[in-house]
Amino acid sequence: MRAELDPSDRADFMDGGGTTVTAQEARHHGVYSGFKAAKKTIAAETVASPVVVQTMTTGNDQNGRTGRAAPGRTTDNRPPSARPLSGDADGPSRAEILGKVVRRLAEKIGEEPCRRYFSQMAELSIEPRELRVTVPSNFLAGQIERRYSGVLREVLRDVGRPAPQSFRLVVDRDAFEASRVVERATRRRVAPEKAPPPVRKPVRVEPASGKYEFGNFIVGDENKLAYTAAMGVASGDTRLSPLFIHGECGLGKTHLLRAIASAFERSRPDARVRYVTAEAFTNEFIASMRANKLDSFRQRYRDCDLLCIDDVHFLNNKDKTQGEFLHTFDAIDLDGKLVAMASDEHPRDMNRVSAALTSRFMAGALFRLTPPGRELRLKVIAEIGRRRGLAIDPSAAEVISERAERATEPGRTGPSVREIEGMVTRVQAACRLIPGAESGVIDAAFASRALGMAEGNSGGGGVRRPIRMQQIIDRVCSSLGVAHDEFVGRGRHKRVVLARALTVHLSRELTNHSYPEIARAMGRPNHSTVITAHKRIKGQIDGGEAVRFDNDLVAIDVAELNARLHRELERITGR
């Protein structure tokens, strides 16, 4: 009697070429031995349903003898993921190969990126000739192709045969959504009682007393584009994200970032908004690592609807923090949330920032703030005077504007708003010191006197020339015999260290530059080293210390050297 199979017992068999055939076709093509060999792997496979069923019948043969009939069809009811990849039934299953691929991929790129890109946002499947990566959009396919195509090829080579040695990206939104529907349905069957969603507590922006608002920002040709883009981000326009604003100190970058955060939070009270400097991000990241609380740190930042990062240039030469910020940036950006950043430097000028971060900064809306020209300077002076209750005559505003421009260091195109504000402060202080001046109108003559100019000669002689940073550096290096390359380099010779410290101290005494501005002029990566040098040299001066170098017979008194350089610099600039 011929063995018959119930239609439900029919099974597909995947031969080495990836063709699906039935058992009868397999016998015809000479691959039926694979069915018999599959029985040996039943114990090794962990599947819930029976994996191999062999149908046998009994009866009389042609000679009338009773016995066992020829074996019927062998049925492999295992799911496709548990079946061998090739015709060798003893070989690893697709699920086993895929597990090796995923584990190796996680070792290469990290657990978090592997989970985000290849578990949450994509589906992996092993085919005989390729690893198939199914994603829901062309955008995500492009992201994976650019970032991980080389890594995927390395992983497949590392895993080796019988794993496929190539991969293919497939964009299939319908298939992706269908798998998610099945997953959600399975979860509902397992847990019919759905827990209430957690309450999302919005992150509040630090109060700024209304100082940093769009209405307080003075707009001119030099900052109009950045201002318009910032307002777009505050309104929720994802086309302008990530927004990167760069420019010199004191031009309004922080003002715009804080205004974005404030306006966005005001229009969306339930939104999670975070404004933070890169330095604060770094310190919080380090503290989280030490306390073993990285998960909560990442949740705080990656769950934001709007993240504003100020002073991004602070990330220079901080590799681990850059890596963490890169993953934070990607997580927020891929979720369609908003990112706004500000830096003193253009992304391409941040030499100690990774190429991956630089490319992401360059991929967004990039705008530069330039120093204000004459027209914007006059608007700034008038607005500052109005806020402070000062009656500044237009002629006095011209004097202040010209004085600010003349005080600009070489290499810069104009003064900062902060420097202009400082000059208005000097005029205001003079009003309080001179009897009767506080209640009157400030004219050009009074502004000239307040700013140290000779009356009636605001544009010519009598002006005390400002001391340039380069003049201080040149004078200190010449006095100590330090070459310029040594001064800006990484050397730690005692003579070079003293030259740097004296430059910082004299800059703080003779200029109104901030620590970050001094650090940039000295070619230092960040201003923390400048602050440390200033504290050290001040202690040496106050303590009357003397230093002796390798070939010097006489020690140098630090306080005396500082006083001499101070006098020379004042004499050079006519002070």
How many C-beta atoms surround the C-beta of residue 216 within 10 A? 12
Nearest to 566 by CA among 545, 537, 546: 537
Across residues 116-134, what is the average pLDDT?
77
Task: Say whether both 511 and 421 belong to one domain.
Answer: no
* Least confidently predicted of 52-66, 286-300, 360-374: 52-66
Assigned token pair, 198: 């957690």
Which is it for the CA torsion 377, 383, 384, 386, positive or negative?
A: positive
Task: Say whether both 223 and 363 belong to one domain.
Answer: yes
Task: Say whether both 547 and 478 belong to one domain.
Answer: yes
* End residue of a domain, out of 403, 423, 450: 450
Task: Say whether both 542 and 520 belong to one domain.
Answer: yes
Rounded Cα distance between 132 and 125, Å, is 5
Give the pLDDT confidence score for residue 494 in this predicted structure.
84
Whole-number mean pLDDT of the chain? 75
Rounded Cα distance between 501 and 95, Å, is 63
| Residue 390 within a domain | yes
Task: Say whether both 14 and 103 belong to one domain.
Answer: no
56: pLDDT strictly greater than 50: no
Give the pLDDT confidence score for residue 41 in this predicted structure.
36
Q: How many helices (H) and strands (E) does the chain have?
A: 22, 16
Across residues 58-62, what is the average pLDDT?
44
Q: How many residues does the chain have?
A: 575
Task: Say whether both 363 and 403 belong to one domain.
Answer: no
Is 552 buried (19+), middle (13-18) or exposed (0-12) by CB count in 10 A? Answer: exposed
Give the pLDDT confidence score for residue 24 in this predicted structure.
41
Task: Say whether both 387 and 491 belong to one domain.
Answer: no
Contact 69, 3 (CB under 8 A): yes
For residue range 244-290, list pLDDT tens digits in order: 999 988 899 999 999 999 999 999 988 999 999 999 999 999 999 99
Task: Say whether both 356 and 392 belong to one domain.
Answer: no
Give the pLDDT confidence score for residue 46 in this predicted structure.
34
Give the pLDDT confidence score for residue 234 in this predicted structure.
93
For residue 278, what are the CA distances in angstroms to 81, 309, 316, 565?
Answer: 46, 6, 10, 36
Task: Say whether both 21 and 133 belong to one domain.
Answer: no
- Residues in contact with 322: Cβ distance below 8 Å, sequence separation at least 6, in sequence order: 315, 353, 354, 357
Give the pLDDT confidence score for residue 180 in this predicted structure.
53
| Residue 48 within a domain | yes
For residue 105, the Cα-to-chain-centroid distance in whole angstroms is: 23
Which structural domain, as residue segments, surrounds residue 151?
A: 94-190
Contact 418, 249 (CB under 8 A): yes
Task: Say whether both 222 and 365 belong to one domain.
Answer: yes
SS3 label, residue 76: strand
For residue range 324-365, list pLDDT tens digits in order: 999 999 898 888 899 999 999 899 888 788 889 999 999 889
Give the pLDDT confidence score for residue 230 in this predicted structure.
95
Rounded Cα distance between 260 and 255, Å, is 9
Alpha helices in 335-438 (DSSP H): 355-363, 374-388, 394-406, 417-433
Across residues 5-16, what is the average pLDDT?
38
| Residue 487 within a domain | yes
For residue range 21-53, list pLDDT tens digits in order: 333 443 333 333 333 333 333 333 333 333 333
- Residues in contact with 269: Cβ distance below 8 Å, sequence separation at least 6, in sequence order: 202
* End residue of a domain, out of 369, 387, 416: 369
Looking at residue 515, which CATH number applies to its domain?
1.10.1750.10
| Residue 553 within a domain | yes
For residue 90, what are the CA distances in angstroms to 19, 82, 196, 380?
Answer: 19, 12, 47, 80
Rounded Cα distance between 121 and 111, Å, is 14
Looking at residue 299, which CATH number applies to its domain?
3.40.50.300
Task: Say whether both 17 and 41 belong to one domain.
Answer: yes
Q: Which helix H or strand E contains 67, and what residues bound it?
A: strand 66-68
For residue 411, name the pLDDT band (cuts at 50, 70, 90). Answer: low
Rounded Cα distance between 164 and 151, Å, is 14
For residue 331, what are the CA distances in angstroms to 84, 94, 319, 326?
Answer: 36, 30, 19, 9
User: What's the structural domain count of the chain?
Assistant: 5
Alpha helices in 481-512 (DSSP H): 484-488, 494-510
Higher pLDDT, 432 or 204: 432
| Residue 150 within a domain | yes
* Least confidently predicted of 44-53, 409-418, 426-435, 548-557: 44-53
- Residues in contact with 295: Cβ distance below 8 Å, sequence separation at least 6, in sequence order: none
| Residue 201 within a domain | no
226: pLDDT strictly greater than 90: yes
Highest mean pLDDT among 59-68, 106-115, 236-245, 348-357: 236-245
| Residue 19 within a domain | yes
Give the pLDDT confidence score for residue 282 in this predicted structure.
93
187: pLDDT strictly greater than 70: no
| Residue 310 within a domain | yes
Task: Say whether both 99 and 11 belong to one domain.
Answer: no
Q: What percent of the chain has pLDDT over 70?
A: 71
Give the pLDDT confidence score for residue 90 in this predicted structure.
57
Give the predicted TM-score (pTM) of the model.
Answer: 0.50
SS3 label, residue 442: strand
For residue range 509-553, list pLDDT tens digits in order: 888 888 888 888 888 877 888 888 888 888 888 888 888 776 655
Across residues 205-218, what is the average pLDDT?
72
* End residue of a domain, out of 80, 105, 122: 80
Looking at residue 105, which CATH number applies to its domain?
3.30.300.180
